[in-house]
Structure 1
Amino acid sequence: MVVRLMVLLLIMAGTNLHAQEYFEKQYAGVWQRNLSYSKAVAEAMPEVNYDFRPAEGAMSFQEQWLHVADNISMLTSRITGDRKNFYRKDDATGFNKADVLAILDQANAHVLDLIRNASGSLLNEEIEFGGVSMTKENIFYLLRDHQAHHRAQCLVYLRMKGVSAPGYVGW
């Protein structure tokens, strides 16, 4: 019985170590590919269609990307304790495509910097988010998931406007 318990504990410790090792060695590359794909999708839409929204009440193409930047601001503050704003919301109505791309680049670069500098102790810190207890590492996965969700909506917008979508990059 004691031997089984020891084996189980070793397996569990190894699994946690493997997950942390994955984050430290590979997640920066995963995020880099994520942000490159998002940028390609954002660049594909002609500027004249940045205000396109498929239905009343839906976010425009531009608003989708600004929402991604806002989410990065909010979620990274759960990691760092400091909320970094990437633009002034009052200025958003005057943004052009280049402005939105620059904001998206800045927000995604901020996440990449946090990933590259995250310590194991920071990643393992427990926080409460949305009524759920999780580690700060999980926030990095939420950032990617949220961006993928809105990028997918933007891909649909491209198709609706007859714009060829960039090929999928997901590895």
Structure 2
Amino acid sequence: METTSIDQEINASEQIISPEALLTHWQGHRKLTRKVIEAFPEDKLFSYAVGGMRPFGEMLIEIMDMANDGMDGIVTGKWKAIHDLDHASGLSPVKTKDQALQLWDQVTEQINQAWPQISPQRFLQVEAAFGAYEGRIVDTIFYFIDNEIHHRAQSYVYLRTLGIEPPAFWDRY
């Protein structure tokens, strides 16, 4: 997949969404997902599942791996293979809600630190993220966001089946 000439002509002032607005949008979703983690019962985070889905704790590790290792790939251009993701972002295995929240905050900070290193032109470059998903960097970031939303929606089903009202889906601030 090659970048088209129209894509190459786009500069930061012509974008539909600025890099700063995209980061704010993503971080809004991350704030909401953090509220979901907080709402989840400690004893169910890594054990409760319905309908053949994974426990939410396992989904969280995937979200964090993609964000952590994905930002590293975006900044450096060097991507881990999908099967080599850190699984708990290179730290000791996450086994408790407090550990999940702590790691969530670390990955959030890592995103914030890496973001300014992404040039406006970089968002339009095409690469195979994790050696598997070819597309523009901006589309890869949208995939990270979409994947998080997808798994957060699954966690809403879990919370409701546990009799817990999940945070309002629009409350991203």
TM-score (norm 2): 0.74
- Rg bigger for which structure? 1
Cα distance, 1:29 vs structure 2: 1.3
The residue that corresponds to 1:48 in the other structure is 43
Cα deviation for residue 65 of structure 1 reads 0.9
List aligned pairs for 1:1-171, cutoff 5 A. 13=9, 17-19=13-15, 22-55=17-50, 58-79=53-74, 80=76, 81=78, 85=86, 86-88=89-91, 91-92=93-94, 95-129=95-129, 133-169=134-170
Distance change in 2, residues 1:82/1:161 (3 Å): same
CA distance in 2, matches of 1:78, 1:87: 15
**Letter paired with 1:151:** R
* Matched residue type, 1:68: I
| C-alpha distance in structure 2 between counterparts of 1:87 and 1:131, whole Å | 20
Structure 2: how far apart are the matches of 1:61 and 1:168? 17
Tell me the SS of whatever aligns to 1:112: helix
* Higher deviation after alignment, 50-59 or 99-108: 50-59
Question: Any idea what SS the aligned residue of 2:17 has?
Answer: helix
Does the 8 Å CA contact 1:78/1:136 hold for their aligned counterparts?
Answer: no
Aligned partners of 1:82, 1:13: CA distance in 2, in Å? Answer: 26
2:101 partner amino acid = L
Return the alpha-carbon distance in structure 1 between the equivalents of residues 142 and 122 of structure 2.
15
- Alpha-carbon separation, structure 1, partners of 2:133 and 2:56: 31
How far has the Cα of 1:143 moved from its partner? 0.9
| TM-score, with structure 1 as normaliser | 0.75
RMSD over equivalenced CA pairs, Å: 3.1
Is contact 1:128–1:134 with CA below 8 Å preserved after alignment? yes
Partners of 2:138 and 2:24 lie apart in 1 by 15
> Quick one: distance in 2 between partners of 1:126 and 1:104?
28
Q: Deviations over 1:50-108 (max 9, x none)?
A: 1342348531121121121122244334313266842446x34xx21100111122223
Equivalent residue, structure 2, for 1:4:
none
Q: Aligned partners of 2:73 and 2:30: how far apart in 1?
A: 20
Give the aligned length.
158
Structure 1 residue runs without a partner (length 5+): 1-8
- How many Å apart are 1:137 and its aligned residue? 1.9
Shift of 1:160: 1.0
